[in-house]
Amino acid sequence: MARLSTYGIDAKPELQDKVIGTDTSPGANLRTKNYSLQEIVDLFNQGNSIAVADQAIYFFQTDISKGRNTGTLSFPAGGGVGTAFSSVTSVLLSKTAAGNKNVTQWLELFVNKGIILAEVGNINNFGQYTVSSIINYPADNNFYEVNLTLVASNGVLAIDGHYIFSEFAQSEIPSFIFTQATPSINWNIQHNMDKYPSVSVVNNNNILMYGNTTYIDKNNLTINFSAGFSGKAYLN
């Protein structure tokens, strides 16, 4: 093998490119191996190795038959793969985040604040919430039970996913975006804004649409249209 200094410099590295390193894991006997840049990026992200003051990384643990691991988020009964973010009302968070970082006091700052729970590497898979309470989990003092109120969401919790838990500053004027994925003449919207918001609707071509809005209560409304279509409703 030639000296590394004799190799040319790649001016435009890509995530699939590889570098040479030494495997220091137990039993590896310090073997020389190739590592892709993508693998290195994933290691830094999932291990919470890049210092960002307002976020922590957690691994979504579904199998709790042997107990809960540090650095994880989970549901009290375990499981939960495929759970929609819109259905999440409570999660258990380890007081030690990925990378063996103690975040006990930091987590306590989030009561009554807005947060986002988003998948590392797939930021469009997320839940935005307000933290209603954070309490010690009675069955395991190494975890907090974090109770959440939904603001907005998209997607589901994925198996073996790593998730960012971070503060998400909410605007002073509450807002909510509702997506009607399948065409319908009746849109039923649960927004949980505790008010009677104004409503604007667009179709999938971003053309403004008009319908009759009925307020069921301060957290629910329906919109009736003359013909069915899919699109989005903006509430504020």
Residues 210 and 227 in one domain: yes
Q: How far is CA 157 from CA 51, 91, 178, in A?
A: 24, 12, 19
Residues 182 and 162 in one domain: no
**Band of pLDDT at residue 180, cut at 50, 70 and 90:** very high
Q: Which amino acid is at 78?
A: G
Residues 119 and 194 in one domain: no
pTM for the model stands at: 0.57
Instruction: Inform me whether the pLDDT recorded for 27 exceeds 70.
Output: yes
pLDDT digits (tens, 9 = 90+) for 106-135: 899 999 889 999 998 888 999 999 999 999
Q: Per the structure, how many domains does the chain have?
A: 2
- From 167, 193, 209, the end of a domain falls on 167
Q: Is residue 204 part of a domain?
A: yes
Q: Is residue 12 part of a domain?
A: no
Q: Can you list the positions of beta strands (E) in 86-219? A: 90-94, 96-97, 101-102, 114-119, 122-136, 143-154, 162-167, 176-190, 199-203, 208-209, 212-217
- From 167, 200, 222, the end of a domain falls on 167
| Domain extent for 215 | 176-235
Q: Which amino acid is at 109?
A: L
Distance separating alpha carbons of residues 211 and 160, to the nearest angstrom: 42
Residues 162 and 193 in one domain: no
Residues 151 and 181 in one domain: no
Query: Would you tell me how many other CB atoms lie within 10 Å of the CB of residue 204?
Result: 12
Residues 148 and 183 in one domain: no
Q: For residues 27 and 57, which has the higher predicted lDDT (pLDDT)?
A: 57
Q: Is residue 28 part of a domain?
A: no
- From 145, 167, 189, the end of a domain falls on 167
Residues 155 and 207 in one domain: no
Residues 138 and 180 in one domain: no
Q: Is residue 47 part of a domain?
A: no
Q: Is residue 1 part of a domain?
A: no
Q: Is residue 16 part of a domain?
A: no
Instruction: Inform me whether the pLDDT recorded for 41 exceeds 60.
Output: no
Instruction: Inform me whether the pLDDT recorded for 5 exceeds 80.
Output: no
Residues 64 and 95 in one domain: yes
Q: Is residue 95 part of a domain?
A: yes
Residues 113 and 215 in one domain: no
Which residues is 221 bridged to in the sheet? 189, 215
Region 26-51: mean pLDDT is: 64
Q: Is residue 35 part of a domain?
A: no
* Residue 111 burial (C-beta neighbours within 10 Å; 0-12, 13-18, 19+): middle
Distance separating alpha carbons of residues 107 and 98, to the nearest angstrom: 14
Region 88-105: mean pLDDT is: 90
Residues 199 and 137 in one domain: no
Of all residues in the chain, the percent with pLDDT exceeding 70 is: 86
Residues 183 and 160 in one domain: no
